[in-house]
Chain A
């Protein structure tokens, strides 16, 4: 039996907690002098004990997460509730499309009649079916295209990237086209939490382009910023700025300021970073990011 088979794991934990009696301390010292494994484990364990002490605002985070989680069971609606919702949505869609369809049929009929009259007059197309002649009508849009350019803040990024993003998932946009801002936002969050960053990104951009004035689009600026932060800090910064322009005292202003400062840190724009950390501290004196903000402010002096 070698020394490693007798590693006193319980003594190692007691040493980290500072609860060793002198006898056990002597036993542990004797063991550590011979066992590199336990020496390494003890040093690393102590390094984590220093780092993982509870932070000041953990309580606030816990309360927020608990509230978010206990809201989720509302999703477990019975299937007939979804069916009723779908039916209602379908009715609304038909009501919205009906006037356009009416116009379409009227235009088709007029063209048909004018072509028929023209055929009757000239006799040049006597052998051609009317279906072929009415073809140009279908090239006109039946419904007005969604106005991407009406987006106000984020849209320079959103509309420019939407085309590229939709190329990633052409079928997905069809699936959610009737779902509205909330459905898009939920889908994007789901994709993000499952690690599908590119699809989540496409979804957020689509949300911002289609429903620029919705609260979901506003919140998605922060989500998208956090998603981009690691790879494209410049783009992330634009998203955080867009959120802060729209809602500098919004619910997520604290998160947006934190994201903005992190993005500026990655871009090496220290002066602006310091300004943002200071703004975060001024605006949210009890922020959960206070420790990080003060630390960065002192490090970048």
Chain B
């Protein structure tokens, strides 16, 4: 019975373009309005900055340059935007891909990754130990980004770092939902193995192997 349920195609829940408050602005920008483009870029910059900081490290020195590249990529890619996903998710995915490319470029150049500057800043209500462990977990995920195949990396960052649902990832990357689930499953397994192999985190997380 359960198997039968699993074979029934899932209803598409991702695209909610009609409710997208930015779709009218995107249409005006596609029509060539400079004012609309500027307003749209200002509107999506928070998610672009968030995605860039997620991939590079929130205090990485290249964050602003990479965010600008991502915003430029977003403006260029607007001509291809057909409303399959929300504008915000479209911008998020472009920012993630741009930041991952920047990360690879910095790694090849042998520069930048050591200046990630992801310091363990203690948030209100958080202990210093928790802050250190959180910073360590973030570093582990970013290190994994350099090793996993690009589609898995993209799914992992969009889901675990930026909190997009499987349906939203599928809509923004034009992939079937099950493909995204499969990529996520493999990426999360790699993440689990990496965390469980780390004695420092194992103590902090109290994960039973």
Q: List 25 A-B contacts (CB under 8 A).
A: A7-B188, A9-B184, A10-B165, A13-B159, A37-B189, A39-B192, A40-B192, A40-B207, A44-B161, A46-B134, A47-B137, A50-B126, A51-B53, A52-B161, A58-B45, A61-B64, A62-B42, A65-B41, A65-B67, A65-B68, A66-B42, A67-B38, A70-B38, A197-B109, A226-B61
Q: Give the one of A38, A43, A73, A229 with max B CB within 10 A.
A: A43
Contact A262 B61 (CB under 8 A): yes
Q: A300 contacts the other chain (Cβ, under 8 Å)?
A: no
- In the complex, residue of chain A having the shortest beta-carbon distance to the beta carbon of B191: A40
Q: 1/0 per position for A56-73, CB-CB distance to B under 8 A?
A: 001001110111111011
Interface set of B (CB-CB < 8 Å, partner A): 2-3, 6, 34, 37-39, 41-42, 45-46, 49-50, 53-54, 58-59, 61, 64-65, 67-69, 71-72, 75, 105-106, 108-112, 114-115, 118-119, 121, 123, 126, 133-135, 137-138, 140-141, 159-163, 165-166, 181, 184-185, 188-189, 191-192, 195-196, 205, 207
Among A43, A45, A55, A72, contact of B72 (Cβ-Cβ < 8 Å): A72
Q: A36 contacts the other chain (Cβ, under 8 Å)?
A: yes
- The answer for the CA separation of A230 and B194 in the assembled complex, in Å, is 28
- With contacts A13-B163, A37-B188, A44-B137 taken as known, whether A66 is within 8 angstroms of B38 at the C-beta atoms is yes
Query: Interface SS of chain A: helix, strand, loop or mixed?
Result: helix
Q: Give the one of A38, A51, A66, A295 with max B CB within 10 A.
A: A51
- With contacts A9-B184, A52-B161 taken as known, whether A197 is within 8 angstroms of B111 at the C-beta atoms is yes
Among A13, A17, A69, A226, contact of B41 (Cβ-Cβ < 8 Å): A69
CB distance from A16 to the nearest CB of B (A): 6
Chain B residues within 8 Å of A68, by CB: 68
Contact B138 A47 (CB under 8 A): yes
- With contacts A9-B166, A13-B163, A63-B42 taken as known, whether A54 is within 8 angstroms of B67 at the C-beta atoms is no
CB distance from B90 to the nearest CB of A (A): 16
Chain A residues with a Cβ closer than 8 Å to the other chain, count = 49
Q: Which 3 A-B pairs have the closest CB atoms?
A: A62-B45, A47-B134, A66-B41
Interface set of A (CB-CB < 8 Å, partner B): 1, 4, 7, 9-10, 13, 16-17, 36-41, 43-52, 54-55, 58, 61-63, 65-70, 72-73, 193, 195, 197, 226, 229-231, 262, 266, 292, 295
